[in-house]
Structures are given as C-alpha cells and as structure tokens.
Structure 1
Amino acid sequence: MKTLLPLSTALIAAMATTQAHAVDIEVGYAYSATFDLTFEQIMQEFAKSHPDITVTFRATYENYEDATNTVLREAVANTLPDVSFQALNRQALLVERGIAKPLDAYIAAEPDFETDGYHKAMLDLSTFGGHIYGLPFSVSTPISFYNRDILNAAGVDTLPATWDEVIAACQLIKAKTDKEPLYWEWNISGNWLLQAAMWSQGVPMIKDGKLNMDNPEGLKALETAKAIFRDCGMKNVIGGDAAKSLAAGDLGMFFSSTAYVGFVDRSKVGDWEFVTAPYPGIDGAPQALPAGGNSAMLTSTSQDPEVLEAAWQFIKFTTSGAGAAAVALTTGYVPPNKVANELLMEDFYAKNPNKLTAVNQLPLLSEWFAYPGDNGLAVTQVIEDYLEAIFVGDATDMEELRDEMVEEVNALLPR
C-alpha cells in the first residue's frame, strides 16, 4: 500500500481543529508536477464549503499507467482510495473490473446538475453501458509550443501548420542557431501522440477491436515519426525535461499536451516570446485529435453512506464551477465544464491566449483509445517499444516495422 500523504499539513490541521466529527476520504491522482498546485488551490475552497470532510491524498501516481496499475493492485488488496483520478482511456478497464462505481444515483439526486455546466460530450467520455462512471476533471488536446525568438532567428516567419513545415523549420534552426530545434513527446502516456498522427488523418487507431494501422495512414504516421526523430536531431529526454529546456529558452519547438502551458508560463526564463498554436497535421490541418486528460471516479469500497456522499461531494466540487476553473488557472488543461469556461472566457483567456489554443481545438476531440482486453497495458508498452526502435535507429523500414507491430499487437488483443 502506498504511503498516505496530506496535501497540506497546515490546511488539514486547521480543518481538524474546527470539526469534531469529520468524514475522512482518501484520494489518488497522477502527475504531481502538473496537479499539485491545482489541488492545493481546490482544497482551499473545498475546505471552506465542506469543513466536515477531511481529504487525505495518497502518494501521487507517477503517470496514468501507474495510476491504473496501482488501483488494480489495490483492488486485490482491498485498499482502494475513495476517489481516483484516472486517464480517460483507462476508465473502461476499471468499469469492467467492477472497481469504478456508477454515479447515476448521485447525479439524479442533484437538482441543479444539468445547470452545473457539464457538457454532454464530456460526460459521454465517461459513459459506459448507459451509466456515468466518472466526471471529467481535465481535458487536453496536443498543441504546439514555440519560442518565437528562435524561429525568427532561423528565418521562420510563419508558424508551421504541417509536419513537413515543422521539419523544414528544424533544418533552419540547426543551420542558423545554436539552439535545440524540437521535442515531440512520442512516449507520452497511452501512445497518445501516435494516436494523434492517425486521428489527424481521420483514421482511428483501433477499429473492430484491432490495431488499425495496416493501411497507408498507419505507414504515413510512422514515416512522419521517423522524419521527426531523424531530421530534427531530437534529444532522448523525457517530456518534463524538454519542457524545462523550452522554459529556459533553449528549445525552439515543443509538441505535447496543453497541460505544459502552466508550467512554461511559471518557469519561463528571459523575455523571449512564448506562443502556442494548433497541432500540426500530416496533410493539411488535423481532421481530429484524441481527447487526453482524466476523470474523477468513485472507487471507494466503503459501505458507509457518509463516506460515499463525501466522496461524491469532492468529485462534484473538483469538476464544476470554481473547482474546474482551477484546472485552467494552474495548468493548461481545458475545464470540461461550461460554467467554469464561462467564468474564464471573458477575462482569463483574453489575458492568457496560450491557454486558449486547446479550447479552440475542442471541436476536433475524438476518442483516446484504450486497447481492449487484459493485455491493454502491455499493448501500450509494445507500441512504445516499436517507436523507440525508430527513435534510436534500430528500425529503418517503416513498412516492415508497421506490419510486425500490427501482427504482434493484434496477437495480444482479444480474438
């Protein structure tokens, strides 16, 4: 079992002095660097409106795969948290295993739920078998991050709109500056950016329960990845370190989740111009993009109605109104809630246009596929291993690699 860590010792202690019979709940979430500040801000308001609920946060999940694996282990050990924030593409697995509890009864008891601002399209991301199992907490799309000063020094006057233009910009940055040209977070959770390469061509990565890359679009996605790796001299670092290089003014172009916008804004060194822009397409503008992010799920094994109600109150607070607005204020994620966005649209996005890019891409949102069956997490790793083979130069024939990858992955998926 993971060690329990209070989000803010001072805050929890202050709450304890004012409540004699507090209800205790435990919560788990991923990506400490991204969401710690978000939950600190949320808890300041939640504690005021719910002084009878004490929230203890579990040690943060490293990433979304770790979040799911941890909860699967905790289900066996009967040590589940009351609320777990899980990747949108991993919800179905927890529903199938009976770990996530449906929220329909709680929603039905809320007289103002429909006016609380939940987009039906967002709720659909967490609906399985006609029942709602999660409330989306943060939603992201992949976007482009640029150091405009580096691009200008390289003679790139127009922000790239396609990957061919990105790669051409790489060549100019390498030739005319001493800066790093690019980082594309190819190994981000859930093969998200490979799925983006497929969706941008209008093709789903999973079709009829199988890997849908044995087609020209699949080959083009892999050839694009190869060109990004080989022609841009990309360093072999993790996304967080690349974001630090961007913030330090050393990286020209960065392609990943809008979640990094808040970090770059807070960490930016120097007076260089930081801009975001829509994600590049392969042949023209993307036709669709996978929805990233996570949702709040009720995973409690408690039989105490007070504990379950407290968990629901926390889920509802974090995903609506001021709670959801905190997501945008502290990260670059889009709050999946109309009320939260209305609170922000008139003033916040006008002052923070870099965070508006993902909002403008919401019409492109499409499914972030989870690979079906018991081997779903293993499939994620298999595909990542193939991408790594391209990155390090062990694979050069993309058609051969594609066919081998499709065969290996489909052998792991349910027949």
Structure 2
Amino acid sequence: MKATATAILGATSAMVLALSATCGSADVTIEVGYPYSALFDVTFEKIMPAFNAAHPDINVEFRSTYEQYEDGTNTVLREAVAGTLPDVTLQGLNRQAILVDKGIAKSLEPFIATEADFAKDGYHQAMLDLGTFNGAVYGLPFAVSLPVGYYNMDLMGKIGVTEAAQLPKTWDEVVAACGKLKEAGVENPLFWGWNITGNWFVQALMWSQGEPILVGNDFNLDSDAGLVALNTMNDMFDGCDMQNLSVSEAATPFSAGDVAMYFWSTSSVGSVERSKGDFTLMTNEFPGIGQAPKGLPAGGNAVMMTSTSDDAEELAAAWTFIKFITSGEGAAAVAETTGYMPPNKAANDLLADFYAANPNKETAVRQAGLLREWIAYPGNNGLAITQVIYDALEGIVTGEYDDMEELQEELSEEVQDLLPH
C-alpha cells in the first residue's frame, strides 16, 4: 500500500517537474522544495504554466517533496550543513523561526524595498506577521489553514442530522453524536487529527480556551486549560472508539464513506472532494470546549529564500518566483486546488464566484477571525518536543494512558526539561 502510494505521488511530482521544465532556454535556474505532494502537486500544476508564460527566462526545478513539515525542516537543516540548500523552500509556519535563528533563511526586506507597490499588493497583515521576525519579513505566507469538521451527511442523517445548523458545536456534542451513530450501526463514527504535524490539534484545544501552549519558555499544558485539553481528547477517543490511524491512512475510511465525522485541516478539502465516494460532504466550523472556540492556530506554510548564491540574477529570480506564487493569482490557485485560505487579499475578487460554487472550501474563511499563532517550541530541542507530545497523545489513543492528571504531570516535566532555561 505504502509503495503504491509513493509511486503515485512520485509520478505526480514528475508531472510537476515536467511542467516546470518547459523553459529549456531559460537564462537562470532556481531550485525549490515544498511539502505534501498529495496536496500541492496539483497546485503547482495550475501555477507553473502561468509562471512560465510570464517569466520564460526563469527555469524552476522542483526537488523531491518533503513528507511533512518536520521532514522539510530537518531536510533544510541537513542541506545547510552539506552546502546543498535550495533557492526557495516552503516551510511550516511554526518551523520558520529555527531557520531564521540559524541564519539559513534570508531576510526578504531588501527585495521588498525594491517593490514600489508591495504594501498595496494585498497581503493580509495578520498573515504577513506570521513570517516576520525582529521586525523583518523572512517568509511570505503561501497557504494558510485552520482546523474544520468534515461530515458524511448520509451517515449523519441516520441520527437525524441533515443540515449545518444541527452539526455538533462542542466536543461534548461530538461524543454524544458518536454514541447515537454507533447505535445506528456506524462502526467508526469519528477520526480526530491528533497526529497532524506540529501538535496542531493540541494547540487548537488550548487556543479554543484562549490559552497558548507556551507562555515564554514555560509549557502551558501544565495548567487547568491543559488538563481540560487532555481530558477532552481522552473522552473523545474513548467515547467514539476512535481507531489509531496514521496521517497517511486517516482520510481513507472517511473518503470511502465509512466514517461520519472527520476533524482535520481545511487544507485537505480539495483532495477529499476528489477522492470521496458517493456521499454528500459538508464541512463546518471546528467545535469548541463548551462554547465556540476563542481562537485557533494558523496552519499552513510560508515561502522562504534559502539560496546561498552570490549571483544577483539568481536571487532576483528566486524573489520573482516567491512573489508570483504568493500573489493574487498564486493565492487563488492555492484556494481552488486545496482548501487553504488565500493569504493575499488580491485573491478575494478572483474567488467570489468560486466560493459561492464551492461552499466546503469557504468554511475556514468564515473562521479567519480566530487566527492565532502556531507556536514553535524554542531552542535546539523543538523537534524533539514535538515528538514527545506526539508519543503521549498516541498513548491516549491506544489506551496506554487513562489518568490524565498523571500524564499531564509526566509530560509537562519531560517537555519543560527540553525547553531552554
């Protein structure tokens, strides 16, 4: 199964490379790395013909895609040591800081300074801030997502839920719906994305309560809100008999029509719509803890320049590519092919009719006012902390941990030891 999927994604990546290599007589070549082949291959298939037509002097070569954001960051860190960095890389919003701190990412300010109309170019300030460090822009947002609910309305209809207003608004209501679905013969009522990259859904439960997962260098899961988050997950996983599926497997049973409620990133709306079986799909706002969420972490990625070239022409080409794919046209292509929100307001006019015809992709846009920081763990152990939390959450899913106060204490101690003092 894994080999087959890899072959398919590899073939799709090859199509993207073929599209991007149409300019054989280009004056300059740049190399680009991006994550999630299954999500973004189709996006770049849409973007590259327009880019090639507008800039026939620039040849873009895409490297093998990063499996996910942690892989993308680790790859770039290794390439920095080996001296083989790409000119441009797309990195998770919560993984930009380490590349800035280590001097791998270039400030985009010198390039922005040459653009007379950049401030008018349409970038949402809240999203632009996600790539700003010490007052300088290092990353331009390419794709911004929020967590949402995906519902198989054919299965939800078995318990009398037939319209958006009846869908669960809190996690207690989700668990109650699971009970009714099981009584109605639905064996797998739910999958909830605990294992999404960067502990994103844990941060969603914290921000839902108005709390960040870190306060300074203190791990805030060691708090009343943290215990509520852990208990919420435990109640959901147990009450819904949730299966322990990998990230690559999670969407499969939902797309096949076997799972009623699937909580995941809005980024997958496009791929789910393309692969789903014969059932009515509806997306809706992310439920909250007792009430609507007070905030949600901004997911997605930003485009960063990591070129080590001294060639002004190559650097200008890298900037031209970055500017194009984050522009109105590029941002619109992201929204149309995935489900991510366009980070550039210039895309809004291009998408008005699109959202009217594709309401499932508008759900995240309705939640845009809830955007909060997707917090990165500082210091050299950031990726290790992500894995420690991941392992603890998997223990809740498998039933290894059932005492959430005890888990909170152990997890908080281990994470705090890994954070800078």
TM-score where L is the length of structure 2: 0.94
1:179, distance to aligned residue in structure 2 (A): 4.4
- Alignment correspondent of 1:274: 281
CA spacing shift, 1:53–1:203, aligned 2, 3 Å: same
- Alignment correspondent of 1:348: 354
1:116, distance to aligned residue in structure 2 (A): 1.6
1:62-113 deviations in whole A, cap 9, x for unaligned? 0000000000000000000000000000101100000000001111111221
- Alignment correspondent of 1:92: 97
**Partner of residue 361 from structure 1, selected from 360, 367, 370:** 367
Equivalent residues in 2 for 1:117-128, closer than 5 Å: 117-128=122-133
Question: Does the alignment pair 1:388 with 2:397?
Answer: no
Question: Does the alignment pair 1:246 with 2:254?
Answer: yes
For residue 294 of structure 1, give the secondary structure of its aligned residue in structure 2: strand
Q: Distance in 2 between matches of 1:91 and 1:14?
A: 31
- Alignment correspondent of 1:165: 173
Residue 378 of structure 2 aligns with an amino acid whose one-letter code is P
1:306-361 deviations in whole A, cap 9, x for unaligned? 1100000000001011111110110000010001122102x000001111110011
- Alignment correspondent of 1:108: 113
- Alignment correspondent of 1:24: 29
Equivalent residues in 2 for 1:11-410, closer than 5 Å: 11-16=19-24, 19=25, 21-156=26-161, 158-270=166-278, 272-345=279-352, 347-410=353-416
- 8 Å Cα contact 2:141-2:343 kept in structure 1: yes
Between Structure 1 and Structure 2, how many residues are aligned? 407
Q: Distance in 1 between matches of 2:81 and 2:260?
A: 46
For residue 259 of structure 1, give the secondary structure of its aligned residue in structure 2: helix
For residue 169 of structure 1, give the secondary structure of its aligned residue in structure 2: helix
- 8 Å Cα contact 2:376-2:382 kept in structure 1: yes
When structure 1 is superposed on structure 2, of 170-179 and 5-14 the one drifting more is: 5-14
For residue 22 of structure 2, give the secondary structure of its aligned residue in structure 1: helix
Q: Distance in 1 between matches of 2:224 and 2:21?
A: 59
Q: Distance in 2 between matches of 1:98 and 1:13?
A: 30
CA spacing shift, 1:51–1:316, aligned 2, 3 Å: same
- 8 Å Cα contact 1:7-1:57 kept in structure 2: no
For residue 14 of structure 1, give the secondary structure of its aligned residue in structure 2: coil
1:394, distance to aligned residue in structure 2 (A): 1.0
Q: Distance in 1 between matches of 2:198 and 2:22?
A: 39
The runs of at least 4 aligned residues of structure 1 exceeding 4 Å deviation read none
- 8 Å Cα contact 2:17-2:61 kept in structure 1: no
Q: Extract unaligned runs of 5+ from structure 2.
A: 1-9
1:9, distance to aligned residue in structure 2 (A): 5.1
Residue 327 of structure 1 aligns with an amino acid whose one-letter code is V
Q: Distance in 2 between matches of 1:12 and 1:36?
A: 11
- 8 Å Cα contact 1:185-1:238 kept in structure 2: no
- 8 Å Cα contact 1:134-1:295 kept in structure 2: yes
- 8 Å Cα contact 1:321-1:339 kept in structure 2: yes
For residue 300 of structure 2, give the secondary structure of its aligned residue in structure 1: strand
Q: Distance in 2 between matches of 1:53 and 1:244?
A: 38
Q: Distance in 2 between matches of 1:6 and 1:381?
A: 31
RMSD of equivalent CA atoms: 1.4
Q: Distance in 1 between matches of 2:195 and 2:360?
A: 24
Q: Extract unaligned runs of 5+ from structure 1.
A: none
